[in-house]
Amino acid sequence: MASPRRAARRKASPRRTRPPRAAERAIVFSVNGVEVRRTLGRDAPAGMTLAEFLREELGLTGVKVACGQGACGACTVLLDGRAVLSCMMLLAQADGHAVTTIEGLPADDPVIAAFAEQCEPGHGTALQCGFCTPGFVMTAKALLAENPDPTLDEVREGLSGNLCRCGCYPGIAQAVLQAARRRREGGAK
């Protein structure tokens, strides 16, 4: 039995060519501020992950899939501002939510800038191969939104769900602390 809310969405959908069948389900959510409507079971397989949808359907390749097991954090996106692993979420679970990928961050985002520019001596750079970087940036965004002035230990704990095999952890920690300073100085972003 479809909820009235969902039924209303279906009605509003301009993509609809026929009513959804029993095995189908219409979903509406936003990605980087743009509304997305799909009917699961028709436009996309019901088992499709959010990561696959973002990459393959929307071409948002800043979302990386390194493990597909929820173990590395490379696929991290924001769901209503919270960091989530998009490889461990079904597309269906995005229904009614706001998804932000790294492509949705502004060009002058202080976290991106801090990761790009880290060269404080003694810590190395904040990225090398760069494959894990978007995931770290998104996790750091969520961390700083929750805790605008984290200690080094809080950064280490907060980012311990992300793997960087190039091992840029000290540079990443510096970048996050630097981004926190810039956010506080420039007004939170």
Partner 1 sequence: MKKPFTPRVKRKFLGQYRPRSDGREKASGRALYADDMTLRRRFPDLLYARVLRSPHPHARILSIDASAAEAVPGVRCVLTCFDPEVRALRPTNAGWTDGVDTVSYETMMWRRFRDRRVLGDTAHWVGDEVGAVVAAESEAAAEEALRALKIRWQKLPFVLDPVAAMQPGAPTVHPEIAPNNILPEDPVGGPDVFLNKGDVDAAFAAAEVIVEADSVHHNPTQGGLDPWCCLCHFTDDGLTVWSNSYEADQTRMYLSQMLSLPLHRVRSVHEFVGGQFGSRDTGDQPFFLFTALLSRRTGRPVKFRYTRRECFHDSRQPAIYHAKAGAMRDGTITALEFSSLGDAGAYADHTMFALKFAPIEVAETAFAHIPNVRCRSLAVYTHRLPGCMMRGVGNSQFNFSMGLLWDKLAERLGMDPIDLVIKNFGHEHEGRPNRSLQAVLAAGAERIGWKDKRHPPGQGPEVGPDRRRGVGFSFHPAWHAEWQELRRGEIQVGLTLNPDGTVLLEAPTVETGTGSNMCNILGCAEALSFLGIQLEDIRFANRVDTATSLKDCVQTDSAVAYLQSEALVEAARRLKAEILSRASRKLSVAADRLDVRDGRVVFIDSSRPDAPLRQVLMQPDIVPISVRLSRPPAAERTGVPYIATFAEVEVDCGTGKVEVIRLAVVNDCGTVMFASGAEAQQVGGQCIGLGEALTEEIVYDRASGQPLNFNWIDYAIPTMADMPDIDPVLLEVWRGAGEYGACGIGEGTVTCAPRAILNAIYNAIGVRVDELPARPEKILRALGKA
Q: How far is CA 46 from CA 6, 38, 42, 89, 150, in A?
A: 16, 11, 8, 12, 39
**Count, residues near partner 1 per rule CB under 8 A:** 63
Among residues 54, 85, 89, 168, the one that binds partner 1 under rule CB under 8 A: 168
Residue 159 binds to partner 1 (criterion: CB under 8 A): yes
Residue 150 binds to partner 1 (criterion: CB under 8 A): no
Q: How far is CA 108 from CA 10, 13, 95, 128, in A?
A: 37, 34, 29, 21
Residue 121 binds to partner 1 (criterion: CB under 8 A): yes
Residue 160 binds to partner 1 (criterion: CB under 8 A): yes
Residue 151 binds to partner 1 (criterion: CB under 8 A): no
Quote the CA–CA distance of 118 and 173 in Å, as a whole number.
10
How do strand 76-79 and strand 34-40 relate by DSSP bridges? unpaired
Which residues contact partner 1 by CB under 8 A?
45, 55-56, 59, 61-69, 71-72, 74, 101-103, 105, 107, 109, 112-113, 115-134, 137, 155-157, 159-173
